[in-house]
Structure 1
């Protein structure tokens, strides 16, 4: 599981024709004190698991059964009649991506990634500031993303279950800004949650792997 990246998430989330709750890449207390084991027990063990269970119930006996998460997401995006399938498949994928975007030992951007970041933002600090701004200004539930759009590194934000996958943009990192991601530890202080993640837990090794 240590080498997982954006290209092999579906392998980790599937077991034959069923979708599974892929294991966390660290112990449930490994992100403390930034994110508590108590928060992880609810966020991963309850919220993420519910999306997996819902997806299995929704796709059993349909043309989507056994398909990769990415295929389901792309096939159902923007379709009102498939909104429930999209929301649950995308949230399974988004949460997996989020867990791997965090690490107690996240390393540093590779030389290639740092060069691209500096070309796009001027500096790594400026990149992190814009990433934080996207996370803080996403209204309501959603996600902030560091992405590779063509050859340029940029920041994006999406609402609810949406992700850059639906726009053919390659995600490198994400921060979950649904309230359940931080409320037990930070209450309404989203700004503290976001800044502390970027300072202490963001997994640059994962971003390096996703850059390809």
Structure 2
């Protein structure tokens, strides 16, 4: 038994050492129900965190310790909400949360001023916070397969936005202005028709 414990300890230590040297924490398909505590011990070392396809329900507030993280990929979990201190992740450029159970996003989302790609498809979102307009570096926004009733007018302040994906979300939209009224350079994709505006396609 002592031998097995020693091997497990060595394996864990070597894994953490690898994470620290590469800056990449990749634990896809690991049957995790929570964030591994050792991830937070790395703090400034983490650049990419990929916990796709696990059973994680909650993102702990300690995630704010990962201040140099640029990519956070948490698709296909059971996450219901984002922590309100998410805005401390000032280096974050890519956040992927597809296929979770979120019904809303915190206003603090707007503090992620370096964010370039936000993908939140396949959730239960009924609205987006007005603060999303503060994401001036956002290039791609994917809100497909949600239950959005409308898009906030503040999205017009996302001056860098090039691509908006809302496949199978358009059916639930009650109000949406034509993207040309926001940003004429948008490349927008809607699967279905928009009430009052007709079909919106790429342009």
Tell me the TM-score normalised to structure 2 length.
0.23
Tell me the TM-score normalised to structure 1 length.
0.22
Q: Which has the larger radius of gyration?
A: 2
